[in-house]
Structure 1
C-alpha cells in the first residue's frame, strides 16, 4: 500500500497499520527511511518559524537552518533509536512479545504518520507566532502522535 494511504489509514487504526507493516518482514532500511523522512519533514516544518525568528531578531537565517538541519538529520535519529529501545524494554517489562524492530517501526511510523500535523504546526509557528493557536496545534499533534505510537506499540507487542 502507498505511504499516503497508510498515513490516512493510521488515523483510523494505528495498530492495524503497524501490524500490516510488520507483516512485510523485518527490513531495517524501511524503518530507517521512515525515520529519515520524518526528520526531513520536521526540518521543513521548522523553516517558517526560523524565517520568522531571523526576521524579528536579525539573526542569519542560514545559521539557524544549519543548526536545525544538524540537529534533526544527524542527532535526532540517534535519539529516536534510543527512545525505541527504551519503549521495547518497557514492553518487555509488561510481558510484551514484540521485537526491537517492531518497537522502532512503531515509533518511526508514528512520527511519519503525524507529519501532516507537524507541518501544520510549523505553518502556525511561522505565520501566527507564539500564542494559544500554536500551543493548541502542538497539543493536538502530541496527542495524535502518542495515540499512533502507543497503538502501534501495543499492536507490535501483541504480535509474534
Structure 2
C-alpha cells in the first residue's frame, strides 16, 4: 500500500502540474480548452484516491508526521473551496456586467452574449487552474517536506 500511495502521490503531482499550467496558459491567452476540464477532474480524482490510500495506511497503523497528514488533507479543502468559487463565477460576472440573471443575458445581442460566456468560462478556468497549482505546492510539501518520502 505504501508503494501505491507513493505512485498515486506522484500522479497527483503530475496531473495537477499539467492542469495548473495548461489552465493558466489558456486563461492568459483567453483561449477556452475542452482538454483542461478532463485533466483537472483526473487531478481531483487523484487527490481523493491519495487521501483514501493515506487514510487506509493510517488505519493500518502507519505512522507519519502530523504535518504530512495536514498537507495531505488540505488539497481536498482547496478543491472544495475552488469549486464553490467556480460555481459563483457566473453570478459575479453577471453582476459586474449589470445583468440581473442569466435570462437577462439572453436579451442582449449575440456578441455581448459571447463576451459574457467567455468571461464566465475564463474565470472558472482561472480559479480551477490556480487551485491545481496550490495543490501542487501542498502535495509537494506533503511528499518531500513533512516525512512523506
| TM-score under structure 1 length normalisation | 0.41
Q: Whose radius of gyration is greater, 1 or 2?
A: 2
